[in-house]
Structure 1
């Protein structure tokens, strides 16, 4: 019963945390998940990661006494991690001294799942610590860890391979740091993971298809350097949150997205996606937020969008979409905000016009509407509207020469400034080569301010008690 009580305790923490998430945008807040995220199917841990810990030596002062071997391993992990920390302005690790690891700031201990008679480390939370350092392989010794929060720090480097040993980890937040390299592959081995947030880092390359075969409820990878086409098996994911914005993804939205029946919030904003919006994008019936802005989508709005009965917010801005904005979309029962700016729409339904006057907030400037102010020049409209797009044949690459030219202009970099003219040195004047100072490093984006749930944990520094939890995924922020 105590073992079940522990699992219920962790479940309560997780449920309260996730259900408290919201995405603030003007005058509405979106719940993060309709589904309960506490369902943690216990799979047999992959035995392969164990050998990664073989080379880690657990050597501690023999005079120190530990209640059990797991706390001894945790002590080793925290001490090795502390050695890499070069800046801790809030003194979050100042009391990481001695064998009582359960009293360390940001560390939470509970009864082990497999042995009610021993205590073990289940939570590490260093959110908003502004700590500079790296992750160490020794963290793989925390095999009972369920929550790891490192939001808004300055950790850099890569995620150690030993993280694949954290088979009970169900919530991983590495957001707003300086991690780099390809997608952290050890994450793919975490059978219990339900919430993954790695936004605002410097990860690059392709998203592995295996990510969408995981039983993860939230995939938040925005504001990195990911590129390439999106995996075709995206529809295999049971996620309710999918945030891919502010990367460099290209190609089309995979049609398999129609199989993501739990999907509630999805953002593809500010990438290099092309082609037509797929009809299948409207098949997930629980979508409340959809953002495809700042891409290169073409053609009309799919007729299937009239099925989005729960949609509250739509953003199609800054694409090359054409045709009519139909009444069936404007009059969706839950829709209150729609943005269509900077496209080539040239007709809008009469019911849409009425709703705009009454309840619907619609931004429609920079289109091709004949009787509306602040529209595109007629010449620009004709150059696109005279070449209708056939979504059955357009494929995933833009074919229209006007759009290709637009993309080329948008992607073109300004020419470098001409080199400075060197004066002719006098015969008796020593020749001095001027050096160009390096620009200062770009600062990290500021963390997204958001309401934070009041979760009860001991041993947290007083300065950050009110900011304990991670912020919500920014579906419509940071474009």
Structure 2
């Protein structure tokens, strides 16, 4: 921050900066207003900053400064305004309590380790030089004796042979090939299975009735009366044969 030689107003307030406030500010020769309030800065406000030639206002309130030079007290300069309230400066009014100041002041922050203020500049890596390949020595060129070359006459080209144009040969188109249609396939009709005709068998012949043989009636014994002077006529023949 001490290298900002052309700055007239520098305000870094309310940024939660921490660490010990710097001591070298001779480079801020043109600064008129410097505000570092509302941070967590510790250390001592030195004469180097409070006696800057162009300084008109230096506000470092609401930090954890634990001391200030006599030139930084508000009552010492009439041409510059100083604001040091709410710090940890002894014998100054409106400062923080010891209970608030002790946790911060007992553990000072080293900016070189915590990088709170950028720390020491890191060494820049040296650019690696490209490796040069060893150059192979070229063999010395032998001095060549100038050779005179005779130009030979261009070879004679034979006259171009003119070929008669070939007439296109039109071959007749091949006759169309008519393949006969495939023969129709007649499949036999499916067999029709008709039920067999009914067989009419003649009714069984009943045996002829047995002839009824009637027994001749028993012959009655005819007792003829004795022929005593009478004649009897013979009976008539039977109506049915066999009887």
Structure with more strand by fraction? 1
Structure with more helix by fraction? 1
| Higher Cα radius of gyration | 2
